[in-house]
Homo-oligomer: A and B are copies of this chain.
Amino acid sequence: MPSNKIPRATARRLPIYYRYLTALKNNKKERVSSTELSQAVQVDSATIRRDFSYFGELGKRGYGYDVESLLKFFMSILHQDSLVSVALVGVGSLGSALLNFNFRQDANLRIGAAFDSKPEYANTVMSGIPIYPSEELEKQLKEQQINIAILTVQGEHAQEVTDRLVDAGVKGIMNFTPVRLSVPEGVQVQNIDLTNELQTLIYFIKNYSDED
């Protein structure tokens, strides 16, 4: 692994490359050309070659890039070397579903603490994860040294909870609410709205599936 840090713009393309290389591996392909990669991930070849030089992969003329060693590199930087605990706030239908899912594909990721304001959930354990009353948010995040949170509260509480998370030292939020969160510089938000994703898919099929 290169000792210089990967440029931010390159790092943003990591998941795109990672996904395609994983698909290649699943289909038992051992190598890939920068042309094929370029078409698949919609990034021009020159950028790919530059990105990959940061990954320690120069490619071989006539051979292309080695899928297995690229994947090893990605896994080493995306996969956590040690256990990373995240918090989940809002144990509603989606929150409890994620507690059950618990990112099992990666053994070094787990939800370590959940929070909810419902009294019947306070100090219970669901899917092996403790649910704390929302008043204990700051205390538990500090004690457990958690700085990443999954937000699955109702939209109307999203910003207020976010403010508390930021004050408590959280640096990253995986936002499943439809609300666009306001956070200071230095706090990263990743937005996922599953219902909207499905609605959009249905809308596209209804209106555009007869086109190419």
A193–B19 touching, CB < 8 Å:
yes
The answer to whether the Cβ of A167 comes within 8 Å of any Cβ in the partner chain is: no
The answer to whether the Cβ of A15 comes within 8 Å of any Cβ in the partner chain is: yes
Given contacts A100-B97, A185-B212, is CB(A78)–CB(B191) below 8 Å? no
Write the A187-204 contact mask toward B (1 if CB under 8 angstroms, else 0). 110111111111111111
Is the interface on chain A under 10, 10 to 19, 20 to 34, or 35 or more residues?
35 or more
The answer to whether the Cβ of A129 comes within 8 Å of any Cβ in the partner chain is: no
Number of copies: 2
Query: Which residues of A157-212 have CB atoms within 8 Å of chain B's CB atoms?
Result: 158-159, 171-172, 174, 178-180, 185-188, 190-205, 207-212
Cα–Cα distance between A18 and B70 once the two chains are bound (Å): 37
Query: Which residues of A10-69 have CB atoms within 8 Å of chain B's CB atoms?
Result: 11, 14-15, 18-20, 22-23, 26-27, 40
Residues of A within 8 A of B (CB): 5-6, 8, 11, 14-15, 18-20, 22-23, 26-27, 40, 77-80, 84, 86, 93-94, 96-98, 100-106, 109, 147-148, 150, 155-156, 158-159, 171-172, 174, 178-180, 185-188, 190-205, 207-212
